[in-house]
Structure 1
Amino acid sequence: MPHRMTNLHLVSDSTGDTLNSMARAVLARFEEPMVVQHRWSLVRSRLQLDRVLEGIQAEPGPVLFTLVDRSLRLALEELCARLGVRCLSVLDPVLDLMQQAIGERAQAKRGAQHVMDADYFRRIDAMHYVLAHDDGMSTAGVHDADVLLVGVSRSSKTPTCFYLANRGIKAANIPLVPGAVLPIELDAIGCPIIGLTIDADSLIDIRRHRLRLIGAGGVRQDTNDYVDPDSVKAEILAARRLCGARGWPVIDVTRRSIEETAATVVQLMEAWHQRRRDAKQAKPLAS
């Protein structure tokens, strides 16, 4: 059955991040969907909504929305009903469920998740920390890290750290360079250390692309250890052996997205902290 072009309107009175994430998750379940996404964010007045309504009339298609203002919601729903277009307030089912569970009505606050509270400033602080401790640039504050990622060059350490920072996690990363001595600070670090590894062929492709981007494409790649297959395989093996010798868990990022890698890092962090809690509880019993 051939795909047909579909317009999808995402209408939000805040940043639209919730709708964008939901649409991305849903559309990923279809094979090459022909969907044109129309993003309408910060819709907070009738004038702004009128522009949205004109857009829906011009290019009809399903509407997903997160609008707190009841008058705006009604105007949007009325237009969709007249056009015969399906529309859905995506948070309503979850709000209804949680209101019943908690026994309290939710407050009508737009963009409530974006408030500048302690959690917000913790994420900003974590982002600054990642910038200061990326790629082993500074080991002075590594003891303040919530997690430390190690791995060979171009094994996605930096993007994973930034993704973790957006969740308020202070993540430092240190490259495992052949022949280089690890910082002595790692011997007494009080956070989980996790290794990232990657398939040699994938790593070579990434590194070759990196060389082209920085204008080093003229380097003879058959003699450059950075992309030489045998050298790269030896580098990856040495890094894995080091992690194994130190008892550091290793995540293979070859076929993982940054989001999946970060989620696995968080799981390993939780397991690390649980083992420490268990060990503390066991000490009084042993004595």
Structure 2
Amino acid sequence: MPRTTNLHLVSDSTGETLNSLSRATLARFEDPHVIQHRWFLVRSRFQLEQVLEGIQAEPGPVVFTLADKSLRHSLEEFCGRLGVTSLSVLDQTLDLLQREIGEAAKEKRAAQHVLDADYFRRIDAMHYVLAHDDGQGTAGIAEADACLVGVSRSSKTPTCFYLANRGIKAANVPIVPGAPLPVELENPPCPIIGLTIEVNALLEIRRHRLKLIGTGGVRQDATDYVDPEAVKAEILAARRLCTARGWPVIDVTRRSIEETAATVLQLMEAWHARSAPPGTPHGANQGPPAR
């Protein structure tokens, strides 16, 4: 029987860093039997005591991000007495940057969540996505950092929301058979990126959607929305349109939303590099930073 490991994630913030780290590392194992215990927003001695009780009840390695020296020392000391491994995941990166920058990092908990300009940029981007989803407010494309186009159900909306969380204003416009594209895409002020998907994958997504919302008495196999040949033609026409316009295309079939968004960010950077005046240093005028 596989061994079960208790993994304790302890943070004085929302735990976003630790969650991402655990997902990335555990994905490298074939079939890990790991029980994750999440202890987030740990900012007081009382809260830490609850964490220590949990670790003692179900011992296992402890991965943490704690800025408070006192809380951190208590956690490390307790783990040492209990005989479990503890690791501060930001230490090596902070040490490296302190050496390179020549400045000591501040002991500031939840530093990535302060209400600074970056925070308000993300909120603004989220509002933008809500107002410009699925072809709404096309005049606002002039304010976009990127615009995603593609057939219905090709993951444009979730990708835009993910990008908004990185501070990117992303509009999305559906490519609908027989319907003209907005005139704003004729001379776009931002990169236009197409999303495509394999026929069978799109059919499965659309059929599931019809089951959820109902088909209004129309048989699923009687509508072009889920007709295999019609869907195949729709995808092909969308790809040809993107090729004719010179828009790069991302196949999202086997990509997670995070992977699609990362590729969008790379394409945005390449677009800004091509659009920059000659002699502009690499990295300058690259549009909004990815958060």
Q: Give the TM bin, normalised by the shorter chain.
A: over 0.9
- In the alignment, structure 1 residue 190 sits paired with structure 2 residue 189: yes
* Per-residue Cα deviation, 1:22-48 (whole angstroms, up to 9, x for no partner): 111111111121111111111111111
Task: Describe how 1:208-223 pairs up with structure 2 within 5 A.
Answer: 208-216=207-215, 219-223=218-222
- In the alignment, structure 1 residue 63 sits paired with structure 2 residue 52: no
Identity of aligned residues (%): 75
SS of structure 2 residue aligned to 1:39: strand
Output the CA distance in 2 between the equivalents of 1:66 and 1:218.
54
Q: What is the CA-CA distance between 1:104 and the residue it aligns to?
A: 1.4
Q: Which runs of 5+ in 2 are unaligned?
A: 281-291
- Map of 1:235 onto structure 2: 234
**Stretch deviating more after TM superposition (2-11 or 114-123):** 2-11
- Map of 1:103 onto structure 2: 102
SS of structure 1 residue aligned to 2:186: helix
Instruction: Please tell me whether the aligned partners of residues 68 and 108 of structure 1 are also in contact (alpha carbons under 8 angstroms).
Output: yes
Output the CA distance in 1 between the equivalents of 2:49 and 2:215.
52
| TM-score scaled by length of structure 2 | 0.93
SS of structure 2 residue aligned to 1:256: coil
- Map of 1:15 onto structure 2: 14
Instruction: Please tell me whether the aligned partners of residues 149 and 193 of structure 2 are also in contact (alpha carbons under 8 angstroms).
Output: yes
- In the alignment, structure 1 residue 135 sits paired with structure 2 residue 129: no
Aligned residues: 280
- Map of 1:170 onto structure 2: 169
Q: What is the CA-CA distance between 1:278 and the residue it aligns to?
A: 4.8
Output the CA distance in 1 between the equivalents of 2:141 and 2:91.
43
Output the CA distance in 1 between the equivalents of 2:169 and 2:73.
43
Task: Describe how 1:239-278 pairs up with structure 2 within 5 A.
Answer: 239-278=238-277
- Map of 1:41 onto structure 2: 40
* Per-residue Cα deviation, 1:148-175 (whole angstroms, up to 9, x for no partner): 1000000000011011111111000000
One-letter amino acid of the counterpart of residue 127, structure 1: M
- Map of 1:28 onto structure 2: 27
Q: Which runs of 5+ in 1 are unaligned?
A: 282-287
* Per-residue Cα deviation, 1:217-253 (whole angstroms, up to 9, x for no partner): 9642222111110000000001011111111111111
Output the CA distance in 2 between the equivalents of 1:279 and 1:233.
42
Instruction: Please tell me whether the aligned partners of residues 210 and 220 of structure 2 are also in contact (alpha carbons under 8 angstroms).
Output: no
SS of structure 2 residue aligned to 1:149: strand
Task: Provide closer, same or farther for how the CA distance between residues 217 and 22 of structure 1 changes in structure 2, counting only shifts above 3 A.
Answer: farther
Q: CA RMSD in A?
A: 1.4
Output the CA distance in 2 between the equivalents of 1:144 and 1:35.
45
Output the CA distance in 2 between the equivalents of 1:45 and 1:227.
55
Output the CA distance in 1 between the equivalents of 2:134 and 2:3.
46
* Per-residue Cα deviation, 1:167-186 (whole angstroms, up to 9, x for no partner): 11100000000011111121
- In the alignment, structure 1 residue 151 sits paired with structure 2 residue 139: no
Output the CA distance in 1 between the equivalents of 2:23 and 2:82.
25
Q: What is the CA-CA distance between 1:63 and the residue it aligns to?
A: 0.2
Output the CA distance in 2 between the equivalents of 1:27 and 1:280.
44
One-letter amino acid of the counterpart of residue 36, structure 2: Q
Output the CA distance in 1 between the equivalents of 2:49 and 2:218.
57
Instruction: Please tell me whether the aligned partners of residues 211 and 217 of structure 1 are also in contact (alpha carbons under 8 angstroms).
Output: no
Q: What is the CA-CA distance between 1:279 and the residue it aligns to?
A: 5.8
Q: What is the CA-CA distance between 1:275 and the residue it aligns to?
A: 0.9
